Amino acid sequence: MSKLVSIIVPCYNQAHFLSDALQSVLNQIYVNWECIIVNDGSPDNTEQVANEWCKKDKRFKYISKNNGGLSSARNAGIKSCDGEFILPLDSDDIIDSKFLEILVPHLVNDNSLAIVSCYTKFFSKKTSNVIHELKPKGDSFRNLLFENNLIATSLYRKSCWEEVGGYDENMKNGFEDWEFWIAITKSGWKYKVVEDFLFFYRKSKKSMLIDTLENHRISNMEYVFEKHKDLYKENYDNTLKYLFFLINMYRNTNLKIENSSTYKITKILSKPFKIFKK
């Protein structure tokens, strides 16, 4: 039986990339899909681009909402979809034409699986310009506790989204997909990673991921640890080891910066300005 897959594409200020993402959807060999384009209050021409694609193929659908962040946009799209399986796709990323054809059967044939993911190629400007490869591992929440082993663009059951109450809309600064995967798998659901490069993540200098890692990583981790503290208490020894690992990592990074010649020169050059200020 061919299951309907709902592909959810939130868009905020990414209209210039949106057509690339939607073309990769249209290129799917697996044809039983619908694609919900969610305009999350974007000030650019997202609506114009989305409507053009809705005219091309009736499987594309468009909804618009006030800006509420990525979790809110994904939830809005899923609430309006009809698919049994869900695939989130950011508006600047690309999926291989065989993505659904290869991943869907895993969910259909294995009732223990909640999520199916794959290998990822990070690219700049065009998919042939690969700058990094990601090969996640694992199959349960234990592999997700301290780092996100699953890309956001992973295929999952809509029933699992319903079980956990959707994406946490309080998480507006990233890591919402990590928390979502933990929430699903902590109840016993498994995930699977297909060892094939079927997803292409667009690497840009200015992105939500970069902002999250630079400015919100610790606060997001604190939120996830607190929300799922039962898991982290059960895994107390590993949690403690990981936290000390982070402390040492940040300490060593700061020491490297302080011992660098650039830092020392900057410190020397800034002294006259400090004296002048006094």
Mean pLDDT of the chain: 88
pLDDT of residue 243: 77
* 89 plus 193 within the same structural domain: yes
pTM of model > 0.95? no
CATH number at residue 143: 3.90.550.10
Question: Could you tell me the pLDDT band of residue 218, with boundaries at 50, 70 and 90?
Answer: confident
pLDDT band at 210 (very low <50, low <70, confident <90, very high): low
| pLDDT at position 103 | 98
As for how many domains the chain has, the answer is 2
The pair of structure tokens assigned to 222 is: 């604190």
Confidence of residue 206 (pLDDT cuts 50, 70, 90): low
Do 120 and 250 reside in the same domain of the chain?
no
Enclosing domain of residue 143: 5-204
Residue 164 lies inside a defined structural domain of this protein = yes
Among the residues of the chain, which ranges form H helices? Answer: 15-26, 46-56, 70-79, 99-109, 158-164, 176-185, 208-211, 217-227, 229-234, 236-259, 261-277
Looking at residue 122, what is its pLDDT? 95
| pLDDT given at position 143 | 94
